[in-house]
Amino acid sequence: MLFIIYYLSHQTKFNSLKKMKIVGKYPSIRLRRVRNSKWMRRLISEHKLSSSDLILPIFVREGKNKIEKIKTMPGVNRYSIDKLKTVMNKVSKYNIPMVALFPLTPERKKDKNGSEALNENNLVCQSIRYIKKRYPKIGIMCDVALDPYTSHGHDGVIEKNKIDNDKTLQLLVKQSLLQAKMGCDVIAPSDMMDGRIGKIRKALDKNNFKDVSILSYSAKYASNFYGPFREAVGSKKNLKFDKKTYQMDFNNSSEAYREIGLDIKEGADFVLIKPGMPYLDIIKNIKDSFKVPVFAYQVSGEYSLIKFGLINKLISEDAILESLTSFKRAGANAIITYFALDIAKKLLN
């Protein structure tokens, strides 16, 4: 009788343990046995980060012979086009599959519609051509959004104090076509306008860019972790109001399903969750629900927090590997990270 009461009250627990195939108990089971030696830990390890999982963001700037440190992101530089080889040689040596390009547009070239985004000779277009010519085996992804080019720092055009979705779409389509024409492999809309994936896919197909793929920043949160990046691309000081009318609210998770479902329907080849570490739950849920490649972005604020921790010797180097492996456990296929070179180098040794 007692057993029955005990059984009923613990039934769900027993069932879930059974489902997880956990049988036996201490002392016949001792999980420490599987951690006893390094060779054993290697054998049973479930996830392994490799250089194939990494995407390196690269900041480009005007000028010649310039490698400029970014104060808010120690260890990350801005390169003039002619100096891109210093970083690209490493990308190639460490076998990193893809780079993501971000420009620091001079203020004099910014305007309210971000028209520099459509200039064939803007920094991103020049960089694509430079890299494609010299490193044809490395993939290039480019953000589609206007913020590096607008005088107000927003991702779209402003009409009556609002970011105008449909007007912005027209420009984003043009920006995507230009990047594809320059040789960009992966178009990555990071603007969070509604309907952009469908419009961009259609335009790419119509213009014979059917092999150019789309990585949608589908679940991009209005995050407080983008600060160092905005400093790096020079949009921070220009921003007069936040991006909460287009980027997602961090209180929400089911909204991410709607965003991602729509983007997949509209033609996204892969989807991205951003930021990374504070959103591992979203990565895991999306990976479990949609069988599409899921990418994660370990953003600038996450990078700088870890980096300042390392500089101040509060944490050790392996914290980088630990942070990136968390994305693999959550189910990410690849990770955009400013640590890509450091960690790929380490993984090689």
We find the least distance from the C-beta atom of residue 224 to ligand PBG, in angstroms, to be 10
147 is a contact residue toward ligand PBG (CB under 6 A): yes
Q: How many residues bind ligand PBG (CB under 6 A)?
A: 11
Backbone angles phi, psi at 326, to 5 degrees: -60, -30
Match 């456990």 to its residue by tokens: 329
Which listed residue (110, 220, 243, 328) is catalytic? 220
Which two structure tokens, joined as six digits, stand for 30?
């001792």
Q: Cα 209–213–215 angle (5° rounding)?
A: 145
DSSP 70-139: -TTSTT-EEEEGGGHHHHHHHHHHTT--EEEEEE---GGG-BTT-GGGG-TTSHHHHHHHHHHHH-TTSE
Q: Which stretch binds ligand PBG (CB under 6 A): 38-46, 119-127, 141-149, 285-293?
A: 141-149
Calculate the CA 287 to chain-centre distance. Answer: 15
Backbone angles phi, psi at 143, to 5 degrees: -65, 140
216 is a contact residue toward ligand PBG (CB under 6 A): no
Residue spans of alpha helices (H) in the chain? 2-9, 11-19, 38-44, 84-93, 123-134, 165-182, 196-206, 227-232, 254-266, 280-289, 300-311, 318-330, 340-348
Binding-site string for ligand PBG from residue 228 to residue 247, where x marks contact by CB under 6 A and - marks none: -xx------------x----
Q: Which is nearer to ligand PBG, 213 or 247 (CB)?
A: 247
Q: Which stretch binds ligand PBG (CB under 6 A): 14-22, 46-54, 88-96, 224-232?
A: 224-232
220 has catalytic annotation: yes
Q: Which is nearer to ligand PBG, 126 or 190 (CB)?
A: 190
Q: Which is nearer to ligand PBG, 152 or 230 (CB)?
A: 230
190 is a contact residue toward ligand PBG (CB under 6 A): yes
Q: Which is nearer to ligand PBG, 150 or 326 (CB)?
A: 150
The answer to whether residues 286 and 257 touch, using CB atoms and an 8 Å cutoff, is yes
Which listed residue (243, 274, 287, 328) is catalytic? 274
Among residues 79, 94, 226, 339, the one that binds ligand PBG under rule CB under 6 A:
226
Q: Which is nearer to ligand PBG, 23 or 241 (CB)?
A: 241
Question: What region does 111 belong to: left with phi over 0, alpha with psi -120 to 50, or beta?
Answer: beta
Residue nearest ligand PBG, Cβ-based: 229
Describe the crossing of helices 254-266 and 196-206 by its angle, rounded to 10 degrees. 20
Among residues 179, 300, 326, 337, the one that binds ligand PBG under rule CB under 6 A:
300
Q: Which is nearer to ligand PBG, 6 or 241 (CB)?
A: 241
We find the least distance from the C-beta atom of residue 182 to ligand PBG, in angstroms, to be 19
145 is a contact residue toward ligand PBG (CB under 6 A): yes
Which two structure tokens, joined as six digits, stand for 340?
């890509």
The H or E element that residue 157 is part of is: none
We find the least distance from the C-beta atom of residue 44 to ligand PBG, in angstroms, to be 34
171 is a contact residue toward ligand PBG (CB under 6 A): no
Q: Which is nearer to ligand PBG, 201 or 243 (CB)?
A: 243
Q: Which stretch binds ligand PBG (CB under 6 A): 10-18, 21-29, 225-233, 253-261?
A: 225-233
274 has catalytic annotation: yes
149 is a contact residue toward ligand PBG (CB under 6 A): no
Which two structure tokens, joined as six digits, stand for 63?
């000028």
Task: Spell out the residues 6+ positions from residue 349 whose beta carbon is closer than 8 angstroms to its own.
Answer: none
Question: What is the binding site for ligand PBG (CB under 6 A)?
Answer: 143, 145, 147, 155, 190, 226, 229-230, 243, 299-300
Query: Which residue numbers are catalytic?
Result: 220, 274
